[in-house]
Amino acid sequence: MTDPRITQLATNLINDAVRLQAGENILIETTDTPDELSTELVKAVEKAGGNAFVHNYNSRVRRQVIRSASEAQMKLSAELALEEMKRMQAYIAIRGADNAMENCDISDEKMLMYRKMTKETLDYRVNKTKWCVLRWPNPSMAQGAKMSTEAFEDFYFKACLADYPKMGRAAQNLIDLMNRTEKVRLVAKDTDITFSIKDIPAVPCCGNMNIPDGEVYTAPVNGSIEGVIHYNTPTLYEGKHFSGIRLVFKGGRIVEATCDTGDNAQLNAILDTDDGARRVGEFAIGFNPFVTEPMCDILFDEKIAGSIHFTPGMCYEDAYNGNQSAIHWDLVLIMRPEYGGGEIWFDDKLIRKDGQFVVDELKCLNPDQLGL
C-alpha cells in the first residue's frame, strides 16, 4: 500500500509547485527513488489533464555514463536533452542519491566538460519552464542528518508538506523591504561583507521551485561585493566535500578562495569553470522553521531557519544581475547563536540578529511565529 504522504506530496507538486494545466507537458526525472513515487506523480499529472514524460535514473549508472562518455557523445546527449526540454512546459526532478559521494572520483576535466555541455539545457529549464527540484529521503540522507531512517522520513514529510501558502503570506513584508533596499551588510565570525541589491527584484520561494522551501532571494549588483565571507555549513559539489569555505571579494569578484577541510585546488578549479563562477548570482535569506541543522544537502541546508546563502555562479532571470556561469553553488552561512551568531543590515538598519528578525514587520518569519 502506498504511503499516503507520497500521494499528498505528488499532488502538491503537480497542483501547487508547478501548477500544471490541462494539455501541458511535464518532464519528471527521478534518481534512486521508489517506483511508487513516479507512479503517484503520473497519476497526479493525469488528474490535472497533463502529459507526463518520465525518466527514472540510477546514480551509479549515470556516474559510469559520465566517466565513459566522449566529448562527441556528451554533445549529442546535451542536444537531445535540450530538444526534449523545449517541448516541456513544466519539470520536476526528485533525486535520492543513495551515495552522495558517487561522483567524487570523476576527473575534474570530465566534470567541467559535463557542466559546460549541460548548461544550455539547465538555463532553459530554469528560465523557461515551471520547475521544482527536491530530494528523496533515504538512509544516506538520514546519516547526513544524524537521524534514524524512520525519524528522517518523518522530518522530511513534515518539512515538505508544510503550509506553504501561509509561509508565502508571511514572506511578503520581507519581499517589500528587500525591494526598497540598496545596501546589504552581513556580519558574522570572520565575515564582514557589503553589496548592493538596488533595483534587483526579491523573489519568494514558498512551495514552488524547491521542496522543502522557505527563502526569499535576490542578487547582488554585479561588481558591488566587497569583503570576506566564511561559510560555516559543509557542502558537497559534484561528489566533492568542502567545509569552512572562505571567499574574499574585491570589485565583486572572488580573488581568494580557501577551505578549512577539502581540497583547495579542487575548490578553485570549480570557481575557475568560467568567469561568472567567481562572481555571485544569488543572495537569499532562509527561514523554514522545520529545517534547523545542516545535512550536507543544499536543497535542505539553504532553507535553514536563521541562515543566508550567497551563491557563486549563475543568476536567475527573475532576479537578474547579468552573471552567467555553468555553476550555481549555494553556500550557506547559519547565523544562529550556536553557530557563532551574525547580523543582517539593510541600509544601515539591523533587520536580523542571531537568526531572529528584529524589526516588527518581519517577526512573523521567526520560527516561533512560522512554526506551521
- List, by residue range, all CATH 3.40.1830.10 domains of the chain: 4-160
Q: Rounded CA gap, 238 and 105, in Å?
A: 10
Determine the Cα–Cα distance for residues 6 and 16; give it in Å rounded to an integer. Answer: 15
- How does pLDDT run across 264-307, given as a tens digit for each residue? 999 999 999 999 999 999 999 999 999 999 988 888 999 999 99
What is the mean predicted confidence (pLDDT) over 102-120?
86
Identify the pLDDT of residue 102. Answer: 80
Q: What mean pLDDT comes out for the span 144-149? A: 86
Closest by Cα among 259, 264, 274 to 327: 274
Return the number of other C-beta atoms located less than 10 Å from residue 165's C-beta: 11
Cell of 353: 540578529
CA distances from 323 to 16, 54, 168 (A): 30, 32, 27
pTM for the full model?
0.80
Please name the residues in contact with 193: beta carbons below 8 A apart, sequence gap of 6 or more. 185, 186, 225, 226, 227, 228, 229, 249, 310
Instruction: Compute and round to an integer the Cα radius of gyration of the chain.
Output: 20
Per-residue pLDDT tens over the stretch 303-333? 999 999 999 999 999 999 999 999 999 999 9
**Cα separation values, 35 from 6, 14, 137, 351, Å:** 11, 17, 14, 45
Q: What is the pLDDT of the chain when averaged over all its residues?
A: 93
Region 66-76: mean pLDDT is: 92
Helix (H) or strand (E) holding 118: helix 108-128
Does the pLDDT value for residue 98 go beyond 80?
no
pLDDT tens digits along 331-342: 999 999 999 999
Determine the average pLDDT of the residues in 25-38.
95
In CATH terms, the superfamily for domain 4-160 is Thermophilic metalloprotease (M29) (3.40.1830.10)
Categorize the per-residue pLDDT at 372 as very low, low, confident or very high, splitting at 50, 70 and 90: low
